[in-house]
Structure 1
Amino acid sequence: MSEQAVPATGSTWTGVDDVRAQLTADGLDVAACELIVQEALDEDLGGRGVVPDLTGERVDVTSVATVPAEDTAVGDLVARQPGTVAGLAVAGLVFAVCAGDRPVRITAHVVDGTRVETGTVLMTVEGNTRALLTAERTALNLVSLVSGVATATRAWVDALDGTGARVRDSRKTTPGLRMLQKYAVRAAGGLNHRMALSDAALIKDNHVIAAGGVVPAYRAVRERFPDLPVQVEATTAEQVDALVAAGAREILLDNMSVEQMTAIVSAHREQVVFEASGGLGLANAIEVASSGVQLIAVGAITHSAKIMDIALDLRSLTA
Structure 2
Amino acid sequence: MLTSQDLKNDIVATVRHALSEDIGSGDVTAQLIPAEQQATARVISRQDAVICGVEWVNEVFRQVDPSLTIDWRVKDGERVVRDQVLFTASGSARSLLTAERGALNFLQTLSGTATTSRHYADQVEGTGVKLLDTRKTLPGLRKAQKYAVTCGGCYNHRIGLYDAFLIKENHIMACGGIDAAVATAKRNEPGKPVEVEVETHAELEQALNAGADIVMLDNFSLEQMREAVAFTAGRAKLEASGGVTDEMLRPIAETGVDYISIGALTKHCQAVDLSMRLID
Shorter-chain-normalised TM-score: which range? over 0.9
Residue 28 (structure 1) shift: 5.1
- In structure 1, the residue matched to 2:182 is 218
SS of the residue 2:131 aligns to: strand
**Which AA in structure 2 matches 1:82?**
D
Distance, in Å, in 1 between the alignment partners of 2:87 and 2:167 is 43
* Percent pairwise identity: 39
Partner of residue 31 from structure 2, selected from 48, 64, 72: 64
Partner of residue 55 from structure 2, selected from 89, 107, 110: 89
**Which AA in structure 1 matches 2:118?**
R
Aligned: 1:263 with 2:227: yes
SS of the residue 1:61 aligns to: coil
Partner of residue 44 from structure 1, selected from 1, 22, 45: 22
- In structure 1, the residue matched to 2:9 is 31
Alignment of 1:169-318 (within 5 A): 169-316=133-280
Residue 141 (structure 1) shift: 0.7
Structure 1 runs of 4+ with >4 Å offset: none
Distance, in Å, in 1 between the alignment partners of 2:239 and 2:123 is 16
Distance, in Å, in 2 between the alignment partners of 1:223 and 1:93 is 42
**Does the 8 Å CA contact 1:265/1:292 hold for their aligned counterparts?**
yes
Query: Which runs of 5 or more structure 2 residues have no equivalent in the other structure?
Result: none
SS of the residue 1:274 aligns to: strand
Distance, in Å, in 2 between the alignment partners of 1:93 and 1:224 is 39
Number of residue pairs aligned between Structure 1 and Structure 2: 280
Distance, in Å, in 1 between the alignment partners of 2:65 and 2:127 is 47
**Does the 8 Å CA contact 1:82/1:116 hold for their aligned counterparts?**
yes
SS of the residue 1:29 aligns to: helix
SS of the residue 1:311 aligns to: strand
**Does the 8 Å CA contact 1:86/1:112 hold for their aligned counterparts?**
yes
Alignment of 1:100-139 (within 5 A): 100=66, 103-139=67-103
**Which AA in structure 2 matches 1:61?**
V
**Does the 8 Å CA contact 1:37/1:94 hold for their aligned counterparts?**
yes
SS of the residue 2:108 aligns to: helix
Distance, in Å, in 2 between the alignment partners of 1:151 and 1:29 is 20
Q: TM-score, normalised by structure 1?
A: 0.84
Q: TM-score, normalised by structure 2?
A: 0.96
Residue 215 (structure 1) shift: 2.0
Listed one character per residue, the Cα deviations across residues 262-285 of structure 1 (whole Å, up to 9, x for unaligned) are 111111132221111112122211
